Structure 1
Amino acid sequence: MSNTIQIAVRTLVEHVYSSGSIDSRFRSQSTMLDGTRIHQKIQHTYQETDQKEVYLRAEVPVKDLIFTIDGRCDGLLFRDGEVIIDEIKSTSQLLANLGEEGLPVHWAQAKMYAYIYAKDQHLQEIYVQLTYVQVESDEKRYLKKCFSFAELEGFVNETTASYYPYAKLLFEHRKERNESSKQLVFPFESYRAGQRKLAAGVYKTISEEKSLFVKAPTGIGKTISTLFPAVKALGEGHLNRIFYLTAKTITRTTAEEAFGRMRSCGLCVKSVTITAKDKVCFKDETKCQKDYCEFADGYYDRINGAILDIVANESAMNREVIENYARKHTVCPFEFSIDLAYVADAIVCDYNYIFDPRVSLKRLFEEQKKSTLLLVDEAHNLVDRGREMFSASLNKELFLQLKKEFKDVNKVIYDRAATINAWFISLKKNSGKLNEFTLEQLDEELVLLLTQFKEEAETLLLNETSPTLLELYFKVNAFLKIVELLDEHYVIYGEKMKNDVILKLFCIDPSKLLQKMGKAFRSKVFFSATLSPLPYYQDILGGQVDDYLLSIASPFNEEQTDIFIKPLSTRYRDRERTKEKLVSVIHSLVHNRPGNYLIFFPSYQYLLAVYDQFTHDFPDMHTLLQGAGMSEEEREAFLEEFKPNQTGTLIGFAVLGGVFSEGVDLKGDRLNGVVVVGVGLPQLCYERNLIKDHFNNKEKNGYDYAYVFPGMNKVLQAGGRLIRSEEDHGTIVLVDDRFLQRHYQDLLPQEWRSFTVI
């Protein structure tokens, strides 16, 4: 590894010159889009001889390192013998608030470009111009200064010297990381059946810059089998960063444990876990305002010290570690974790930090993405999460509330809210007696009204706070962002509820957008025990024709599980009639085979009906009930009851697709049996039927896409709680006559197909 540090101009100057506080009392979310629009507008006014988006690069030696600094300057202008570097900055603040001089970090960025250009062209002096544009009013302010080459050289030397301690720390760490990863051996005595095949598949995918879809059974050790080859690829120079993406806290812990195990075998790797803002916030309310929160006040003045401290002393930067250092340095723990994500080797976080256009990590430059791997755990969850991320809705009630609140407060906002409320009333009238209805296209008048509302709200929110206005502003903003994405993958529909009416932009098929959000990354690996059927998931998660597909057989013997099918109808219309038979099946099972059981139901209502009947008929049985909206402590207490080597019987009643049917690891004798009631089909509803119709029109099996595949996925997940190691034995009972139909049987794993009908 050479002694070269590659760094973008913007990253360098933001590290050295950013200062001040986090203040999202109100931060315009449209700034990214506005910024692009304004840049293009200004560049459009350049003269023919001028240049825009000029790529500049320089090598600057600093002690024992060489900094390769690069970036694109907005404009290179030639005026009456002057050479001018133009840096365009859009802002939602009033220009008067920027002071006479503008911001030091903006001058620093422009001066860095000026130095590189002057050095390349042997210029003795060069002009630097900051062009500030106010987003709403389009007002402009130009600040221009002339610098000698000697001044710029001094500035660059000073800047790189400030960055040096941090760069040196990262450089030394990466050297050690690469060496240790080359020497790392698989951190278990031997590979389980299928693990070597999975690890080899992941490594091949990374080295060939492809994507991979993997169905690998529960209990195989998917986390270590995907992370180990990824870490080896770091040492080989294929990668610089790994994202381990999950949908649930419990799978995040598994990834942290896998890194811990590799560290205990000598690996030197820095990992950071990002936890949701509302979970890590130190204050009673999550208000990022400098006058309310001391962790936001002056954040940028202290953050470099905090990063240097934690990176120098810690390898596993999990929630607890980040919170400790955040308190020590008085910085916001959430923003701290986001800043650490840009320097860590591995980031464990939720899907949305990569795939959600509203919250994705914006400072991951294209160059960095090319050396980044995405590992998508429990990837079957990304289908509905993707739909959620790319959809948006608005309802009439919020505008009515705002109209009332602003009646004598602000006429402009009152009028805007009243007009939009009236639009919703006419939508309701025009839909006639239908409770749910689709729209051929979005009314352009509504888009105009919402855009005007957003602009007025922005101006008002810069100076005062109203929780209702702020909430509605963000909702409208999110809605307008999705408006820009509307295409044939969307359905626009309305729904009436009492006095309210909801308008939803529903992303039926998230494949195109998931593909777009993940496009620039080197490789993507989507894996799950229930990624079945593979072609369906490859299609709906945005896979390409030349992606790799891998299906790994279960490492466990069929003899470890007794599979029974009870052909009893659990369809909605038959539930009352078959309830007593179901209770009797459960009792007979636990009477003949005592132990710890989980019984999964397709709905909470159904669960309660059977639970009440069961506890009435067998009051002496030890039962547990999954509560609605359980806290993390209550969930842990529920699972804690499943102790090994119990003499009696314990029956946990839970919901299929709920918190206990995925990611729960009750090893050994803690779980002896699972009963799955029904084939897991989502409830018939308008949205699911829209999905069905959409895919039918695409000449695919719409009913499978909307109901059967998601339903059977829940069944397989629930059954997968049982056998977690070579030593586990147990019983699975599938209760529904549809399990005997060929179509459903084809979706069962191979090891479940030797069943007995009871």
Structure 2
Amino acid sequence: MRNMRISVRRLVEFVLRSGSIDNRMASSNRALEGTKIHQLLQKSAGDEYQAEVSLKLERVVDNIAFLLEGRADGIIKGEIIDEIKTTETPMEEITEDFRPLHWAQLICYGFILAETAKLDKVTLQLTYYQVVDEEIKQFQRVMTRSEMALFVDDLLSKYAVWAKMSAAWEMKRNKTIQELSFPYKSYRRGQRELAIAVYRTAMSGESLFCEAPTGIGKTMSTLFPAMKAMGTGKIDKIFYFTAKTITRQVAEDALIEMRRKGLAARSVTITAKDKICFLDERKCEPDHCQFARGYYDRLNEALFDMLQSEEAITRPVVETYARKHTLCPFELSLDVALFCDAIICDYNYLFDPVIYLKRFFAEGPGKYTFLVDEVHNLVDRARSMFSATLRKSLIMQVKRGLDKKLNKRLLNAINAMNREMISLNKKLTELGKTVYVNKEKLVDWNEAILKFTFVAKEWLPQNNQSESQADVLELYFESLRYVAIAECYDERYVTQVTRSHGDLEIKQLCLDPAFLLSEKLKLGDSSVLFSATLRPIDYYTNVLGGEKDTSRMIFSSPFKQNNMHLLVADFISTKYQMRENSLESVVDALFALISGKKGNYLFFFPSFLYLQNVYELFREKYPEVQVQKQETSMDEERREHFLEMFQADNEETLVGFCVLGGVFSEGVDLRGDRLVGAAIVGVGLAQLNYESDLIKDYYNKSIGRGFDYAYQIPGMNKVLQAVGRVIRGEADRGVVLLIEERFSAERYRALFPAHWNHAKTVKNIHEISHEVSEFWQNS
């Protein structure tokens, strides 16, 4: 007999869902708009109301032992089961048969209660709370245990086809995993040790932070052992999270290599909705989009078709089946993920409190292993994901577009938000400031936003022809994010009110994302957070949710140290106040770097303005050198063209001027003679700014390392990433020049990785030329 664990919600939605996708009906999850209301109703129900009751039942149907589980909102006197639903629908439209899925969920809970408590019958109570008018409507049904048993068994029998298919696949998968050997003939230096550490982490249900330099093969070193752990039954799914499309491709390639060795495992790559949408204008409404209209009526047939034929469900595969069955490709990728073993996607599908994969993570922890790649990127991304902003200009834009007679309710909600903003603006004027910081959340402002989301959710489906709909929808989603972040708000936050260029901005700024990240990581059984540069590793462990006893590992570079000639030009200062005076010295040093060998080079700068100043002088002094520069905004086609210029057989020297921390300083793989050298101008510090200063003040108070955490370490990581572009393979050789006097200071030298301990200090332009020439002659 096969075992299958399934939640009541997933069972009901999978078997009974129908109709269309409609983002006008989209909402925050229950935790955002419903939790407080649920708690209020539960508390007001009296002592006989038992709230948030976990329910479990094993039920055998079609030779499958289903473990059916869920959480009832309330049980009254042990025999009435209550399900609370919040809604924006006007009360007069809420009838007993308003949402059949709500009753289906309640019947399942009622049956579990009847079975476990040996009750002949149960009273089912469906409670609707209308959030705009704050009204309650209740419906009751009495059902016998046998009536509910028939209903539940019918649901389970319909799901059994999918359960049997999943169980058969799992047996096949595990057999191939157990027989799977490492895909390559041998391990690289450090690769076996990393793979063993990842396997132990997955099997023990722990966390690991790991610095694995370029060349070790960290993608295979993490995916292969995680897959082996899956074969033991320890984990159900592997999630591979990354910040960049190119890294997702590397993960797909690693799985292909394992399949060549006999692995049977389904994987899906989730592409962002805006990128994969088939429409020129993304509008997820049945009246506008044929791929949204009737989506759930066609979904299961498409899933069955796809799962019978595909293992590597990449973006092109998703698009093929989406077109074949006329389905939204983004939603199809999410739905097929339920049946996949490995899910490759962006960070936000776990960590973002609005965008996260609710079908996996909304109902609590699962038997998942999280592999978080290029995790140094997660620090800034986490602060961004856990922060939220609303601007007065957007609110006024919505207000101006609405007909005052036809949209009174919505206008009242918008006016309430505007009044709060006027009040905050007055406070700025009284203080004589353009920025005001409040440590506590702005309660009245937050309540006004919440009220708007309720009214807007009711308004949107009823006004799909309105010219204002797009603006209202934008404000609605921005407001949902703001409300979501308000739920996370604690002592690690500040609210920043800023007046700038005639606009007013209110931002909930996350200063320290560690706690929120750690809570997200607990949704899995184990996690491995890794990057080529994770230095100092204690910093990343602290800011990314690790604990004091969390495992940490640092591997040395697998490449020969002498393949990279590292020079430190500490006779030049690039501090902001010194830049104009040192401009010519910087230009001459850069030319000295490229004088030893014709080839392709990258120069990195801390800002576009500084880049432009050096670029102009360099072209003026050395017009014979072919140059190109990164622009402030480059689409994918222009970025690809920029990189295509770096060919191994270029007859003349080519120099690319780039920004530290930009698109060309990470994830760029110019192997061999496609790149022979790089220069980093400055230590990567961001310009002093208000938000970074708030972060600095926070860490000064909490651990006494404000400047390190807000400026120095993030800046130095950009330097490490940029240097990492030069040596990409065992045969690569190259020169790197660090230009800035601070690179010789102990506080920066302490952040150099071990394979930089051969760095040589040069004291003038002549020494740079000499060292470079000698290196290439000896090569």
Q: TM-score, normalised by structure 1?
A: 0.94
1:17-28 correspondence runs (5 A): 17-28=16-27
Which of 639, 642, 646 does residue 650 from structure 2 map onto?
A: 646
Structure 2 CA distance for partners of 1:470 and 1:365, relative to 1, 3 Å: closer
Of residues 479, 503, 511, the one that matches 1:500 is 503
Q: In 1, distance between residues paired with 2:711 and 2:620? A: 33
Instruction: Report the Cα offset of residue 113 of structure 1.
Output: 3.1
State the one-letter code of the partner of 1:11. Answer: R
Instruction: Please tell me whether residue 463 in structure 1 is matched to residue 462 in structure 2.
Output: yes
Quickly say closer, same or farther: Cα 1:314–1:440, change in 2 above 3 A.
Answer: closer
2:534 and 2:120 map into 1 onto residues whose CA distance is: 63
What one-letter code is carried by the residue in structure 1 that aligns with 2:16? Answer: Y
SS in 1 for 2:595: helix
Asked if 1:599 corresponds to 2:606, the answer is no
Superimposed CA distance per residue, residues 664-700 of structure 1 (whole angstroms, 9 cap, x where no aligned partner)? 1112222111111111111111111222222122242
The alpha carbon displacement at 1:742 in A equals: 1.6
2:523 to 520, 523, 548: 520
Q: Residue 101 of structure 1 contacts residue 143 of structure 1 at CA under 8 Å; is this kept in 2?
A: no
How far does residue 48 in structure 1 lie from its aligned partner after superposition? 5.5
Q: Distance in 2 between matches of 1:693 and 1:288?
A: 43
Q: Specify the alignment match of 2:550 in structure 1.
A: 547
Query: How far, CA to CA, are the matches of 1:757 and 1:588 in structure 2?
Result: 15
Range that drifts further, 418-427 or 500-509 = 418-427
Secondary structure class of the residue paired with 2:358: coil
- Aligned pair in 2 of structure 1 residues 585, 442: CA closer, same or farther (>3 Å)? same
CA distance in 1, matches of 2:116, 2:434: 68
Quick check: 1:508–1:694 contact (8 Å CA) kept in 2?
A: yes
Between the aligned partners of 2:495 and 2:49, the Cα distance in structure 1 is 45
After superposition, the Cα gap between the structure-2 partners of 1:577 and 1:34, relative to the gap in structure 1 and judged at 3 Å, is closer
Secondary structure of 2:370 counterpart: strand
Summarize deviations over 1:519-561 as a string: whole Å, max 9, x none.
2321121111111001111111121111001011111111111
Contact persistence 1:13–1:159 (CA under 8 A): yes
Deviations for 1:24-46, whole angstroms, at most 9, x for unmatched residues?
12433264433333444444455
Which is further off, 408-417 or 281-290?
408-417
Alpha-carbon distance in structure 2 between the residues aligned to 1:414 and 1:367:
33
Work out which of the residue numbers 722, 725, 748 in structure 1 matches 2:726: 722
Q: Give 1:69 shift.
A: 2.2
Asked if 2 retains the 8 angstrom alpha-carbon contact of 1:406 and 1:414, the reply is: no
Alpha-carbon offset, residue 472 of structure 1: 2.6
Give 1:91 shift. 2.3
2:534 maps to what in 1? 531
Deviates more, 1:556-565 or 1:693-702: 693-702
Contact kept, 8 Å, 2:534 with 2:540, in 1: the verdict is: yes
The residue number in structure 2 matching 1:3 is 2
Of 556, 560, 565, the match for 1:562: 565
Mapping for residues 127-206 of structure 1, pairs under 5 Å: 127-206=123-202
1:6 and 1:451 map into 2 onto residues whose CA distance is 36
Deviation of 1:72 after TM superposition, in Å, equals 3.1
Equivalent residues of 1:403, 1:413 under 8 A apart: no
Distance 1:137 1:445 in 2: 18
Inter-CA distance 130–188: structure 2 relative to 1 (3 Å threshold): same
Match of 1:709 among 691, 713, 724: 713
Matched residue SS, 1:592: coil
- Give the direction of change, closer, same or farther, for the CA distance of 1:63–1:413 in structure 2 (3 Å limit): closer
User: Residues of 1 paired with 2:395 and 2:64: CA distance?
Assistant: 58
How far has the Cα of 1:276 moved from its partner?
Answer: 1.0
Secondary structure of the corresponding residue to residue 462 of structure 2:
coil
Provide, for residues 383-410 of structure 1, a one-character-per-residue CA deviation record: whole Å limited to 9, x for no partner. 1111111112233333343444447454
Measure the CA separation in 1 of the matches of 2:38 and 2:507. 32
Q: Matched residue of 1:369: which SS?
A: coil
Give the match for residue 578 of structure 1: 582
Shift of 1:645: 3.7
Q: 1:54 & 1:272 partners in 2: Cα distance? A: 35
Shift in Å at residue 119 of structure 1? 4.3
| Whole-angstrom CA distance in 2 between matches of 1:404 and 1:71 | 45
Once the two structures are superposed, the pairs formed by residues 713-752 of structure 1 within 5 Å of their partners are: 713-752=717-756
1:427 maps to a residue whose letter is K
**Range 85-94 or range 717-726, more displaced:** 85-94
Which AA in structure 1 matches 2:244? K
Tell me the distance in 1 between the aligned counterparts of 2:32 and 2:631: 44
Partner Cα separation in structure 1 for residue 434 and residue 167 of structure 2: 61
**Change over 3 Å in CA distance of 1:163–1:26 after alignment to 2:** closer
Tell me, yes or no, if the aligned pair for 1:623 and 1:650 is still in contact at 8 Å.
yes
Partner of 1:690: 694
Counterpart-to-counterpart distance in 2, 1:485 and 1:122:
41
Question: Residues 205-262 of structure 1, C-alpha deviation per residue, up to 9 Å, x if partnerless?
Answer: 2222211111111121111111111111100111111111111111111111111111
Would the aligned equivalents of 1:402 and 1:417 in 2 still touch at CA under 8 Å? no
**Counterpart residue type for residue 315 of structure 2:** R
Residue of structure 1 aligned with 2:301, choices 298, 305, 308? 305
Q: Is the 8 A contact 1:599 1:653 kept in 2?
A: yes
Contact 1:202 1:525 in 2 (8 A): yes
Mean Cα deviation higher: 296-305 or 411-420:
411-420
Please point out which of 291, 297, 315 is paired with 1:295: 291
Give me the whole-angstrom Cα distance separating, in 2, the residues matched to 1:71 and 1:400: 43
Aligned equivalent of 1:481: 484
1:692-750 residue CA offsets vs partner (Å, 9 max, x unmatched): 22212224221111111001100000011111221111111111111111221111112
Residue 633 of structure 1, aligned match among 609, 634, 637 = 637
Deviates more, 1:120-129 or 1:676-685: 120-129
Distance change >3 Å, CA 414–CA 69, structure 1 → 2: closer
Matches of residues 254-293 of structure 1 in structure 2 within 5 Å?
254-293=250-289
Q: Does the CA contact (< 8 Å) of 1:93 and 1:462 recur in 2?
A: no
Cα shift readout 1:138-163 (whole Å, capped 9, x = no counterpart) = 43333334445544343333322221
Which stretch of the first structure deviates more once superposed, 555-564 or 514-523? 514-523
**Secondary structure, aligned partner of 2:680:** strand
Matches of 2:84 and 2:69 in 1, distance apart?
A: 17
Stretch deviating more after TM superposition (54-63 or 592-601): 54-63
Give the secondary-structure state (helix, strand or coil) at the position aligned to 1:700.
coil
- Residue ranges of structure 1 left out of the alignment (5+ in a row): none
Give 1:340's aligned amino acid: V
Name the counterpart of 2:613.
609
- Aligned counterparts of 1:514 and 1:578: Cα–Cα separation in 2: 42
C-alpha distance in structure 1 between counterparts of 2:287 and 2:666, whole Å: 42
Shift in alpha-carbon separation, 1:223–1:40, aligned structure 2, 3 A:
same
Structure-1 residue corresponding to 2:423: 423
TM-score of the aligned structures, taking structure 2 as reference length: 0.91
- The 10-residue stretch of structure 1 (406-415 or 340-349) with the greater mean CA deviation from structure 2: 406-415
Aligned with 2:625 (options 621, 625, 631): 621
Query: Post-superposition shift, 1:71?
Result: 2.5
* Distance in 2 of aligned mates of 1:440 and 1:7: 42
Amino acid of the structure 1 residue aligned with 2:502: N
Alpha carbons of structure 1 residues 626 and 85: separation in structure 2 relative to 1, 3 Å: same
Structure 2 portions without partners, runs of 5+: 763-779
C-alpha distance in 2 between matches for 1:53 and 1:503: 35
- Larger mean CA deviation between 634-643 and 66-75 belongs to 66-75
What secondary structure sits across from 2:344 in the alignment? strand
* Paired amino acid for 1:658: G
Give per-residue Cα distances to partners, 1:152-180, cap 9 Å, x unaligned: 34333332222122112111111111111
Aligned-partner SS, 1:363: helix
Tell me the SS of whatever aligns to 1:629: coil
1:558/1:471 Cα in 2 relative to 1: closer, same or farther (>3 Å)?
A: same
* Matching residue within 360, 364, 389 for 2:385: 389
Q: What are the equivalent positions in structure 2 for 1:319-338 lying under 5 Å apart?
A: 319-338=315-334
1:21-100 mapped onto 2 (5 Å cutoff): 21-29=20-28, 31-44=30-43, 51-77=50-76, 83-100=79-96
